[in-house]
Structure 1
Amino acid sequence: MNHPTSKQAIQGQAKMPRIIVDGIGTGGHYFPAVVVAQALQEREFDVIFLVRSGFIEERVAHGYGLRTFSINARPFYGKSLIRKFLFVLSMFMSVYRLHALTRHTIGLAFGGFGAVPLIVSCMINRSVYYIFEPNRVPGRATKRFASSAKRVFLGLPPVNKQDSRAVVTGIPVRKEFKRAASGSFRKKNASTLSILFYGGSQGARRLNDLALELQGLMSDRWRFTIISGTRDHERVARLKGAHTRVLPFTEKPWDEIRGADIIVSRAGALAGYEILCLGKKVLFIPFPYAIDDHQYFNAEYFARVGDALFFTEKNLSSEILSARISELLNRKRGSTKKIVKDAEEKIVNYLLSDLANEKI
């Protein structure tokens, strides 16, 4: 199917429509949302980026020059009646706040709890909405609202068959990753090997522990970098070795990933995709308590299409990890051709196609 590549496909429309992009949640939600929002702006859509006031997604959106609108969305978790009440209250307040904004507009939700107020408001106003689902196993918001969505954009091939409105686009990655992937990189010290422990935007305590244990098992040739997360940074920094660097987080993950010979990572959809975009060798350790075990299925796919191995956290030890690192390091480099690097363009082109065919 051929898709239009510019706003010229929409004949007879004097003005591009407004689209509200939900960017609320963790980095796995707001970074792909930012990339798509920028691509929409380049096609002259009127883009509003949905955030929580004072949270990191607001700072990130402003850093990329996006216009924002804030709501007080809360996650739904735990069994506490108070938390459940606060979730319901915040959702109703957010839907009310969005009501006027979602009239005669398009919604683009990127999953998680922040997607719910936008989708509900669009449904009340009978406005079209789209959903982006990064994981191979759909999240709760996607499962609940996919049947009413115009399309569901999938970051990875799904485990189970989806209906015809679901299309695999790949996961949008920031331009900085694309530049890093296309540019050359020279190590400062060719005699050393570097390993990056990358727990995603919030860190991972188990990966931190494995990194600290592994310091004593690896030769002095190895240099460690641990992205610890802010909550565990003080402890990890106190226990690190002489050849280990500990960062609470990084605002330039492409630099850290590009500089590593081996990466040990959780299997969040975005983090895994970004690593494979840079063609790196990676060992995935899925978070065992992820909803519907979605990180396991992400890791299984990443291991098939990239220079990657994956294994579960159960029965994992630093000795086993050391052996797997050696195995991966000595393995012939594979191909990552199946990693789509222009997912945002595919998503925008589907929107343009629907507009051109008067499906919106």
Structure 2
Amino acid sequence: MFPALALGQKLTEMGSDIMLITDDRGARFITSGVNYETVPSIAFFGKSIVKKVLSLGAYFKGVRISKKVIDSFNADAVVGFGGYTSFPAIQAARAKKIPYFLIEQNSVPGRVTRLTQKRARLVFFGIPPAPHMDKCKNKVVITGNILRKTVVLDKRSEGESILVQGGSQGARSLNNLAFELAAKFPGERFILISGKRDFEEMTARVRPSNLEIIDFAEQPEKLYARAKIAISRSGAMALSELMVNGIPSIFVPFPYSIDKDQLYNASWARDNDAAYIAEEGEIDCVEYLLKDLIERRDLREKMSVNARRLVPTNAADIIAERIEQCLAA
């Protein structure tokens, strides 16, 4: 919800009235003073027949509610953030023949973006789209992802630890990898964000004395400040936060994604000399790349500069201004 709230705040500052449409999960993160309506939502793709039937019912109900919201709010435009929760509102905008805009965090757009981008006014990408997905070139605007101001550290000096993280849910393979690497590099300090699911199991294991384990980072910027190098999944937000802080990274993309979005995210960083990539399970490869980064400060500095250069810190400003310009034209 944060990107939607941040963009809504920016548009409000520019004089627009904002109404958020989300589901019950998203509503939990909305602060007081923000207008919102909830719609039912159940993911359709990859589910059982029963779930698909239920999701279709939720979808049609969501479209009806969204149409009523658009009418009562007298909306001039709709902005969709790519997830299936935004699908009913986008379809309602199409039915009402009002303009809509799409925001896509990853290099490979999600299914909702792919289904609706043809009629969108503009499609804002947080990471440049993968070549095989760039089907609406005239509509694509590269803005960077909308990041919390608190996670962008000004003049961050290099930390002393190696941060290992598997995304918001953790990743068991990276958790195990952290144990192995900490044992192989006893002179380095490691911080592992294990995820809540595996935290008890990880802390119950005998571990090297140079490995610190936490379950979840409420304030990730504090860990970024301590990091010299990161080993991480390459979801759009994790990748963007590491890069905007200039942390040299070894990305290990989640291998089971149908669209391989994490692989394409990481490939963009690697192709711009801002990161390394290792495949899941390639322990020797990660060890080799980590040793290279530890021993070569010049390489870390080069990666850091390149990473910072690639990630804008004002994505919400860029998106809001382009939306206003497009509607005023």
Question: Under a length normalisation based on structure 2, what TM-score does the superposition of the two structures give?
Answer: 0.89
Question: Which of 326, 348, 355 is residue 291 of structure 2 equivalent to?
Answer: 326
Q: Write the deviation string for residues 322-358 of structure 1: whole angstroms up to 9, x where unpaired.
A: 221121233321123232221111111111111221x
| Count of aligned pairs between the two proteins | 315
* In 1: Cα distance, 2:61 partner to 2:203 partner: 42
Q: 1:42 to 1:115 in 2, by over 3 A?
A: same
Partners of 2:158 and 2:225 within 8 A in 1: no
The answer to whether the 8 A contact 2:126-2:142 is kept is: yes
Name 1:226's counterpart in structure 2: 192
Structure 1 residue 68 corresponds to structure 2 residue 36: yes
Kindly provide the amino acid, as one letter, of the partner of residue 108 in structure 1: V
Shift of 1:184: 4.9
Displacement of 1:129 after TM fit? Answer: 1.0
The one-letter code matched in structure 2 to 1:169 is: T
Alignment pair present for 1:162 and 2:130: no
Q: Supply the distance in 2 between the matched residues of 1:255 and 1:45 (Cα, whole angstroms).
A: 34
1:272-287 map, 5 Å: 272-287=239-254
Identify the match of residue 351 of structure 1 among 316, 323, 326. 323
- Tell me whether 1:114 sits opposite 2:81 in the alignment: no
CA distance in 1, matches of 2:21, 2:267: 32
| Residue 61 of structure 2 is aligned to residue 90 of structure 1 | no
What one-letter code is carried by the residue in structure 1 that aligns with 2:219? K
Higher alpha-carbon deviation: 346-355 or 230-239: 230-239
2-side partners of 1:81 and 1:245: how far apart?
44
Q: Contact between 1:102 and 1:127, CA under 8 Å: does it hold in 2?
A: no
In the superposition, relative to structure 1, how do residues 330 and 39 fare at CA in structure 2: closer, same or farther (>3 Å)? farther
Cα 1:349/1:329, change in 2 over 3 Å: same
| Superposition map of 1:140-151 within 5 A | 140-151=111-122
Correspondence for 2:271: 304
Q: 1:286, 1:295 within 8 Å by CA — same for their partners in 2? A: yes
Higher relative contact order (CA 8 A, sep 6+): 1
Farther-moved stretch of structure 1 (116-125 vs 299-308): 299-308
More helix by share: 2
The answer for the alignment partner of 2:259 in structure 1 is 292
Structure 1 length as normaliser, TM-score?
0.81
Task: Using the TM superposition, give the Cα deviation of residue 34 of structure 1 relative to its aligned residue in structure 2, in angstroms.
Answer: 2.8
Unaligned runs of at least 5 residues, structure 1: 1-29, 188-192
Distance 1:198 1:77 in 2: 27
AA in 2 matched with 1:251: E
Identity of aligned residues (%): 30
Match of 1:196 among 140, 163, 179: 163
Per-residue CA deviations over 1:40-64 (Å, capped at 9, x if unaligned) read 22213212233322x2x3333328x
Q: Distance in 1 between matches of 2:260 and 2:51?
A: 24
Unaligned regions of 5+ residues in structure 2, if any? none
RMSD value, Cα: 2.0
CA distance in 2: counterparts of 1:119 and 1:207, whole angstroms = 37
Kept after mapping to 1: 8 A contact 2:234/2:251? yes
Mean CA deviation greater in 292-301 or 90-99: 90-99
**Alignment CA distance shift 1:79-1:72 (3 Å):** closer
- Structure 1 pair 306/101, CA: closer, same or farther in 2 (3 Å)? farther
Query: Aligned pair in 2 of structure 1 residues 50, 207: CA closer, same or farther (>3 Å)?
Result: farther
Q: CA deviation at 1:215?
A: 2.5
SS of the residue aligned with 1:50? strand
Question: SS where residue 224 of structure 1 aligns?
Answer: strand
Cα gap change, 1:205 to 1:49, in 2 (>3 Å): farther
In the alignment, which of 274, 295, 316 is matched to residue 282 of structure 2? 316
Whole-Å separation in 2 of the counterparts to 1:234 and 1:67: 39
Contact 1:49 1:61 in 2 (8 A): no
How far did residue 248 of structure 1 move?
2.2
The amino acid across from 1:326 in the alignment is K
Q: How much has 1:266 moved relative to structure 2? A: 0.6
Secondary structure of the residue aligned to 2:170 is coil
Query: Does the 8 Å contact 2:4/2:81 carry over to 1?
Result: yes
Q: Return the letter of the residue paired with 1:298.
A: N
**Match status 1:263 vs 2:225:** no
Q: Deviations over 1:289-334 (max 9, x none)?
A: 1232111111011123354111211x512x4322211212333211
Indicate if the aligned counterparts of 1:308 and 1:328 stay in contact, CA closer than 8 A. Answer: no
Q: What do the CA deviations read for 1:110-164 (whole angstroms, capped 9, x no partner)?
A: 1121121111121222222110112112211111100111111111222223321
Does the CA contact (< 8 Å) of 2:22 and 2:86 recur in 1?
Answer: no
Amino acid of the structure 2 residue aligned with 1:162? K
Instruction: Give the structure 1 partner of residue 149 of structure 2.
Output: 175
Partner of 1:6: none
